Amino acid sequence: MLKNFLFPLHPGIPDNMIMSMAEFIRFFEPKKVYLLLVVSGSSSRHIKWMDGIEQKMQEIGLPVERLLRYGHVPSQIVNAAKSNQSIICFLKKKKNPLKKALAGSVVSDVVRMSEEPVLIYKKNLPWQADQVLHSIMYATNFKYSTTTCIKYIQHKALKAKRLILLHVGKRAPDPTAEKKRLEAVHANLDRLVSDSRNGFEAIEKRAVVGIWVARKILSYARKNEVDLLVIGKIDAGGFFGRFTGGTTEAVYNRASCSVLIIPGGR
């Protein structure tokens, strides 16, 4: 877990952003960092650019290995991550919504298809001198929290001054059921607090009622100036969800901070 990292490279991304993310990855002391370039036709210019990135990463002490693939970009990324058991690291830049609607999004396709965690790095994380983030927020529906997500939060490299454990749930249909629901939510949050003691100066738990879960998570992250948002992958459910996307998709698309998506099946 958090040992191998896969960087799918795309020529449009500035080098300094890639290196900023590489600095972040360095604190995880990775066993291997894979640089993946999926090409079609003539690619000598891109390979030359990849050489430069590889060299810079090696200079900061990352054990880099290059992968060159041909074909459907999301499938190649997913396959490479699966065969190397790596976390897929994307640098997310803002995309024109029309272009996204017409051409699709590699990130969305990879998140949908992948069974490996995906890190979407959005901006330079404000590291403290001792490699500690200001705040990490884990938005949970408790579905995979104990079995999967909490293990990532417990990782020694993932340190922050503040950990926020957020649960956004729909209100029960009556006050008695709602009281029971809230009791269960708080019991689950307490359990997560005791499981997440490692590496955090303060742990806050929040139970929020909301129908539009993604909107609540995003507004909470913005209000609390969260640096990294950790979320389990929840597939889009229901008739409309299949068209509009699920909570996870809405969160990583619209979050202003970096997002770590952890698939439930792991």
Output the smallest distance, CB 237 to another protein, in A: 10
Helices first, then strands: H and E counts in the chain: 10, 10
Which of 93, 123, 171, 197 contacts another protein by CB under 8 A?
171
How many CB atoms are closer than 10 A to CB 242? 11
Which of 93, 170, 222, 242 contacts another protein by CB under 8 A?
170
Output the smallest distance, CB 168 to another protein, in A: 14
Stretch that binds another protein, among 19-27, 44-52, 173-181, 189-197 (CB under 8 A): 173-181
Which of 174, 194, 240, 243 contacts another protein by CB under 8 A?
174
Please say whether the beta carbons of 53 and 18 come within 8 A: yes
Site string for another protein, 34-53 (x = CB under 8 A): --------------------
Binding positions for another protein, 185-244, rule CB under 8 A: 209, 211
Q: Which residue's CB is nearer to another protein, number 196 or number 247?
A: 247
Stretch that binds another protein, among 49-57, 70-78, 175-183, 246-254 (CB under 8 A): 175-183
If one asks whether residue 180 binds another protein (CB under 8 A), the answer comes out as yes
If one asks whether residue 157 binds another protein (CB under 8 A), the answer comes out as no
Q: How far apart are CA 169 and CA 209, in angstroms?
A: 5
**Size of residue set near another protein by CB under 8 A:** 12
Q: Which residue's CB is nearer to another protein, number 13 or number 208?
A: 208
If one asks whether residue 130 binds another protein (CB under 8 A), the answer comes out as no
The total number of residues shown for the chain amounts to: 266
Output the smallest distance, CB 170 to another protein, in A: 6
Q: Which residue's CB is nearer to another protein, number 106 or number 209?
A: 209
Output the smallest distance, CB 206 to another protein, in A: 16
Please say whether the beta carbons of 30 and 5 come within 8 A: yes
Evaluate the CA torsion angle 104, 107, 108, 111 in order and state its sign.
Answer: positive
H helices within 69-174, ranges in order? 73-84, 97-103, 106-113, 150-153
Output the smallest distance, CB 248 to another protein, in A: 19
Binding footprint of another protein on the chain (CB under 8 A): 170-178, 180, 209, 211
